[in-house]
Every structure is written in C-alpha cells, then in structure tokens.
Amino acid sequence: MKVWKKLTIAVLAGGLLLPSGAIHPPKAEALTASGALSPVTPKDTVYQIITDRFVDGDTSNNKPAGFDPTLFDDANGDGRGDGNDLKLYQGGDWKGIIDKIPYLKNMGVTAVWISAPYSNRDTAINDYQAGGAINRWTSFHGYHVRNYFATNKHFGLMKDFEGLRDALHAQGIKLVIDFVTNHTSRWQNPTSGYSAEDGKLYEPDKNAAGAYQFNAAGDLLDANGDGKTDNLLADPHNDVNGWFHGLGDRGADSSRYGFRHKDLGSLADFSQENSAVIAHLEKAATFWKSKGVDGFRHDATLHMNPAFTKGLKDAIDSASGGPMTHFGEFFISRPDPKYDEYRTFPDRTGVNNLDFEYFRASTNAFGNFSETMSSFGNMLLTTSADYTYENQAVTFLDNHDVTRFRYIQPNDKPYHAALATLMTSRGTPNIYYGTEQYLSSADSSDIAGRVFMEKAASFNQNSTAYKVIKSLSALRQSNEAVAYGTTSVLYSTNDVLVYQRQFYDKQVVVAVNRQPNSSFVVPAINTTLPAGTYADTLGGLLSGASASVTNVSGQNKIASFTLAGGQVNVWSYNPSLGTTVPRIGDVVSTSGRPGNTVYIYGTGLGGSPVVKFGAATATVVSSSDTFIEAVVPSVAAGPQTITVTKGSSVSNTFAYEVLTDDQVQVIFKVNATTTPGQNIHLVGSIAELGSWDAAKSTEAMMNPNYPVWFLPVSVPKGATFQFKFVKKDASGNVVWEGGSNRTFTAPTSGSADTVVYTWQ
C-alpha cells in the first residue's frame, strides 16, 4: 500500500514584524523539543529568493572593501543597482528580505530559500566574445564559494544573517539556505583556450588547537597577526592534496562518470572521495546548521557523488539540533535517460529532489501547450507511484536555472491555472521570487530571469497571482489532503483536468481549464465527496463556482458543469479526523541511525502514542495532535516501517531507512570483463550493500578505464563486512562471481580505497 506522507503546524507569534523592528525579535514558539522552528514540510509554501536580486535594504554593503566598484551595476551613480546589467551585482541583501517579511507573510509564504550565505569569489569572470568584446560576470548568485565560514559581505555580516533568521522565525517562516559542495569557482576559462582562472578555496585563521577563530560577532578575524583574515586551503592549479578531480569540462560525456567527476562549466570540481574534502564540507554544513537554519537546498546533486551526499546529509542531521529538510538540484529533461537515477536519488541519499519532472510537464501543459492536460495528469499519477516520498519533492514553475514561466506563458489565464495547480498538487510548492508579480525575461536564458525585483515590481499585494498563492497556501495549511494526500485523476481531456487529493476523509477536488478562450462541459463525475454544495475555495478569483454533489443510484456524483476559459475550481471537504486514531502524514527525515531524532507529522498523534520502527519501540520525546518527536530505536539496519499506535488503533505505515552507523566511503574497484549490456554491481553482508540481496545491490559501478570498474559506496564506519561483485544485464539477469566472500574493514572516518580486485 502506498504510504501517506507529511505535516507541520508551527505555533506562530502574533503580528507582523515591522521593518524598523529590533534586529533580533522574539522567536516564535518552537514546534520541536530541540528548539528548532521545524523542517520544511508539504504544509509549507517555499519562496525562493536570489538574495542580490530582491531588495537592497542596506546600501552600505553594495561595494565592500576591496571590491571592484565597476562590478556593481550603478551607471547613474546613485549608489543603488540599476537592474540593467544582470551579470553584475545589484545590491539585494538580508536587510532587504527583512524589510519585505510582511509582504511574504501576507502572501502565505512559510519558508524562504535564499542564496548561499557564505563568501564567494569577488573578482570579475571574463568571457571573451568572438568580436573582441568582453562580457564581465560576477558571482552574485552565490555558487562560487571562496570561504564557507565567512558571510558574503554583499549580503551582510553574521549579525545580519542572524537578524534575518530571527526575523523570519519570529513570524513562523522557516529559513532554507542554498549550499554548494560540488565545486568552487571557475578555474579554467573556456572562452580563452581554457586559460588559468580562479577556483581557490580559503579557510579562517586557527588557534593552536586547530579551531577556527571568529570575533565576538561571528565574523573572521586576523588571529595570527599576518594581516589576513583567511588562508589558502586548496588551489586547483596546485592541487598537491588532491582536493579536485581536475579532469576539465564534461563536454559531451554523458556517462555517470562524466557528470560526477568532470567539471560543470569549468567550475573546479571537488574530489568528494577525498577524506580531507569530506571532512571540510561536512564541517562547513554543520557550521551553518549551528546558525539555526531549517533546511538545505543542495546545488548540482546530479553532479555529486551519491555516497558523499548520503554521508553529508547524515552528518548534518546527526549534528545537534535534529533532522533538517534536504532537497537538491538533480537537473533532468523530459524524457531523460537519467530519469531512473533521478527518481531513486532521494532513496539512495536521503536528499529529495527539486521536481524537474513536474516542472517540465507543467511548462509543456500550461506554458507552450506541447503536452495535453491528460498527459500532465498522467505525470502526476506516474510520479506519485515512482517517488517514494512524492509530497516531499519540491515542485516549481520556474527558478534561477530556467527561464521565467511568464516568458513562456504571457496569457494570464493559463498562467494562473498553472499556479493554482502547483499550489494544490502533490509535492512542496516553491515560488520563484516575482512569479506572483508576473516578472518575465528579456529572453529565454536563465540570467535574463534573474531580474532585480526592486526595480521590476511594485510588490503589489492585490495581484491575482499573489492572492491565488495566499488563498491556496492557507488551504495547504488547513486541509491535510493537499499536504499529505494521494492523487487521483477524475477526468481529463486535452485541455481540462479534474483531480483529487485525499488524506483519509479529507478531500480537495480541483477542476482546471487551461484554454483562455474556450469553454468545456465536464460530464457528471463519480466522487467520494459527501452529498452537498461545495463553494470555490478561491472565492471566484479564477472564475470558479460552487459544485453540487448528489447521490445517483447509490453513487455520489459531481453534477455536470461548464469550465469557462481559464477557469479553476477548488472544492474542499475538511472534516475533523478526531484525536483518537493516529494517522501519519509525513516524517522528517526519511533516514537515520539509531539515536537520531525523527519528526512525525499527521493527525491524532497526541496523548500517549507508541511509535515503532518495525517491531522496535522508539522513545517519544514530545507529542501533540499533529506532531511527534521521537528517537530512532536500536533496530536492524535497512528499510523499516514507522507506525504510531494509540490503544487498539494503529496508523498507516511510513517508510524509513535505518543506517547501520555513521557513514564513511569505501571506493571499491574490480577488474572484470562484461558482455554488451552488462554492468558490475556490489552486494554484501550489511544493509548498505543489500544484505546479500542482489535486487538491493549498489548502483552500477563506473568504468572510465574499462575493464577496471569503480564505485564509491557509503558504509558504516569501522565495520568489517563481506561482499561480492555481481554482473547484471538490462533484463535483470544476475551472475555472481565465484570464490570465497571478500572481506573489508571500513575506515573510522573519511574514505578508503580497496585494491583492484580481480573478478573471481
């Protein structure tokens, strides 16, 4: 049976934060016993902000000391960004986000995802053009790390970051930071014959014990008196310690090896198999967790070593403060040969996906009309079955890596229909800053969509798009059918889709017509809604009307209705489920070790619930009707099902992956010949290696130097285990190697390589 997914209701502080309020306002009452506000859940509406492109709240940080002022877009000399040259800095900062918290709060935003907060490369990135011109770029976006332990001075100092955190938390809004562990900056310039460029990584000063040193405000300081506040740690042009793969651009190499080991756009690619790299990146991530963030958006997960990603996520969640929300950018097309790798990535690593499959289908159905609404509905059903945690996938219409949805769809009616569908579909919706104000692009590039909102929009709280988000964000909070429910398609054609979200007796039915100027008659539809009249939740905002449900020969039916051009109806049935029977909506996180904290969301969870992982009983730290904080018990590693029992009532199950212990990497190697279509996999005695079940083996090993194959695998630290290699073909046929089982002992930290074994 498909398990239900998740929930969060944080208790919010009353009233809106005024821009002139205190830097550190009182924090909202925490949901969790650990004091965290709570991870992001499908109850939330996420708002993505490119920090430099939102609002300039503090002009004093527009041109930090040592920064080339010509890299700031200020042709008129007024000290503020012009919003014209989008390759340059514009001036948005954390104070600017604080100033707009009332705007975000009123829209129903409950989580904000911001650009990477740490120090980035701050020199010009020159692209040489064929005619002799030079395009000068900056790292305004935050994806070119220089020092993970210092703030980006264009956005503010550490006290400013903490002020943003506190201001958001005071209004019950969660904070997600972008985090980049795939690369530093561009180290070779592809527009000048791959000439040497930057890509260096720095770290703070240390004390005699090796601990990083900060001043009382949390910023870097010159602790050793050498006139510098940070120190060179790794240089891709003098990589004596193997911090980078150094293989150059991926180019046309579409293999998994190419994606994971070669450069993305000439960005210096970290060797995530190196123990020193692993330790530094895990230290950096837990440093920012300690600053009180609620989640991580991981950049470029398609290009990352999944074994490293699994270990990083485990390190973050196992650090003080409990589990976090994790989602990442696994960039795919539709259709895409990497789809299977994409859909299983959350199960293999614990990091969910930005839902590019949803994005592609939505763009095609509502944007360019290249797919039918029936096809879009089929995508919802297919992915609901394919994704283990479909309601945790972060859905979106547009973001910083693709063009603006408004550029594709300039007509308000299908634009609004797409937005309403996003807000009521399975998954956790993400709104790209300015989508609610119809921000568009000058062309189809991603950079053209990274407009300076302060210059491009009036922050109008009466736009239809703004009000659609506000209304449906409230519905997502109040009716668990939207946050945790299953999806079924009740009716579909080329242009019309009627779908249902359901969590036990709670239901929401949505009827959408994407055509702006054509009306369609929808025949009577079978439904499980009780007989009665259902008002449009949007109050007619998108021309919706009420629905009538009557019983016809023992079957409840929604009476036939007409959908006018662009009309969207949202009908909600939201009965109380009571407090007696426990029902699980979602769990954060979806993997962890015994002793880790786990958060369970749903209904009927209060009183004296008994939480079990399989047959093992967990310690319950706290509980309410909608939330349980528990501790993963000592239980066999591998897949377990979580249940909540109250008296004689047992909840639905939820899938959870129990790890054996703290995860380290072992890079397995074998010399083996194969026939066309065969790949080498690994199976072993521990859960991380499938517990001798070939169907649960590792992913296929990589073979850039065939017949030698290799694969980094996440295994428990210090564990001694047995393993063998197997061959699999596309039909699932398995050939085991002969001989005795092999034995290996994992390192206690970091990573280790095996010898190159020979197939037995």
| Each residue's pLDDT tens digit, 92-123 | 999 999 999 999 999 999 999 999 999 999 99
Decide if 201 contacts 244 (C-beta within 8 A): no
Which conformational region is residue 265 in: left (phi greater than 0), alpha (psi within -120 to 50 degrees), or beta?
left
Share of the chain above pLDDT 90, in %: 95
* Percentage of residues in the chain having pLDDT higher than 70: 95
Contact 385, 433 (CB under 8 A): no
Domain parsing of the chain, residue ranges: 46-203+234-481, 482-573, 583-658, 663-758
Q: What is the pLDDT of residue 26?
A: 45
Q: HSE-up of 494 (CA within 13 Å, CB side)?
A: 5
State the burial class of residue 242 (Cβ atoms within 10 Å of its Cβ: 0-12, 13-18, 19+).
Answer: middle
425 alpha-carbon distance from chain centroid: 17
Instruction: Answer yes or no: is pLDDT of 11 > 50.
Output: no
Confidence of residue 702 (pLDDT cuts 50, 70, 90): very high
pLDDT, position 175: 97
d(CA 622, CA 609): 10
Q: What is the 3-state secondary structure (H, E, C) of 129-149?
A: CCCCCEEEECCCCCCCEEEEE
Per-residue pLDDT tens for 493-541? 999 999 999 999 999 999 999 999 999 999 999 999 999 999 999 999 9
Q: Please state, in angstroms and rounded to a whole number, the distance separating the CA atoms of residues 16 and 1.
A: 43
One of 2.60.40.10, 3.40.190.10, 3.40.50.620, 3.40.50.720 is the CATH number of 583-658, namely 2.60.40.10
pLDDT above 90 (res 12): no
Model pTM greater than 0.75?
yes
CATH topology match: 46-203+234-481 vs 663-758:
no
pLDDT (0 to 100) of residue 36: 65
What fold, for 482-573?
A: Immunoglobulin-like (2.60.40)
Which are the catalytic amino acids? Answer: 299, 329
Neighbours of 685 (CB within 10 A): 17
pLDDT at 218: 97
Question: For residue 34, what pLDDT is reported?
Answer: 62
CB 392 within 8 A of CB 352: yes
Q: Which of 69, 25, 230 is nearest to 145 (CA)?
A: 230
- Tens-place pLDDT, residues 706-746: 999 999 999 999 999 999 999 999 999 999 999 999 999 99
The dihedral through the CA atoms of 262, 127, 114, 157 has a sign that is positive
CA atoms within 13 A on the CB side of 142: 30
Cα separation, 85 vs 367, whole angstroms = 27
Can you identify the CATH homologous superfamily of domain 46-203+234-481?
Glycosidases (3.20.20.80)
Instruction: Tell me the C-alpha distance between 729 and 133, whole Å.
Output: 52
Paired tokens of 645:
């029992």
Give me the mean pLDDT over the 451-479 stretch: 98
- Asked whether the predicted pLDDT for residue 29 surpasses 60, the reply is no
In this predicted structure, the answer to whether residue 14 has a pLDDT above a threshold of 60 is: no
Q: What is the pLDDT of residues 659-701, one digit of tens each?
A: 999 999 999 999 999 999 999 999 999 999 999 999 999 999 9
Over residues 184-196, mean pLDDT: 97
The CATH number corresponding to 663-758 among 3.30.1130.10, 3.10.105.10, 3.90.79.10, 2.60.40.10 equals 2.60.40.10
| Residue 37 pLDDT class (50, 70, 90 cuts) | confident
The answer on pLDDT for 321 being more than 60 is yes
pLDDT at residue 2 in the model? 35
Confidence of residue 156 (pLDDT cuts 50, 70, 90): very high
Cα-Cα-Cα-Cα torsion 14, 19, 20, 22, nearest 10 degrees, comes to: 60
pLDDT value at position 38? 87
